[in-house]
Amino acid sequence: MTPHEAAPHVRAARQTMKADSQTRRFVLARIAAAAGRAGIAAQGGIFIRSCVPNVTYDPPSTVKVGAPESFADGLTFLPSQRLFVARDSKVFRAVSAVCTHLGCTVHADVQQETDAGNPGGRPHAQTLEFI
């Protein structure tokens, strides 16, 4: 027997160790590959989800409030739509009554300004202050 040749029982032991180490290595490589694929798939799912807009079920921005004759000059509050409608003869303006900060309903205070030169106190302008 030459020094480079191993005994048969040593060769058998080496082959067994080699087969076991390849099996363990193979299993660990498979686990690592599966974890890598799972991570890539999760990132892909997150990316695809980010491309889809969030759907909001807000009420439509266009609403029917009624006939123009149903509004008197001045400010009218429509509680069902949370909307203020201001009429000045033939000119209409609509203002949302929803606070952009917390979403609560704001209130309007109409203040009449009188002409200082007219002692009768006939109002000549309205000032709207939203509280």
pTM over 0.95, yes/no: no
| Same domain assignment for residues 46 and 87 | no
Q: Count how many domains the chain has.
A: 2
| Same domain assignment for residues 79 and 123 | yes
User: For a pLDDT cut of 90, what percent of the chain falls above it?
Assistant: 15
Residues 6+ apart with CB under 8 A from 94: 65, 83, 84, 85, 86
Q: Is residue 62 situated within a structural domain?
A: no
| Same domain assignment for residues 85 and 121 | yes
What does the pLDDT look like over 91-126, one tens digit per residue? 998 888 888 888 888 877 766 565 555 555 555 555
| Same domain assignment for residues 36 and 85 | no
The pLDDT-based confidence of 33 (bands split at 50, 70, 90) is very high
In this prediction, residue 123 carries a pLDDT of: 55
| Same domain assignment for residues 52 and 87 | no
Q: Is residue 65 situated within a structural domain?
A: no
What does the pLDDT look like over 61-72, one tens digit per residue? 788 888 988 888
Tell me which of 113 and 44 has the higher pLDDT: 44
Q: Is residue 63 situated within a structural domain?
A: no
Q: Is residue 111 situated within a structural domain?
A: yes
The answer to whether 59 and 83 have CB atoms below 8 angstroms apart is no
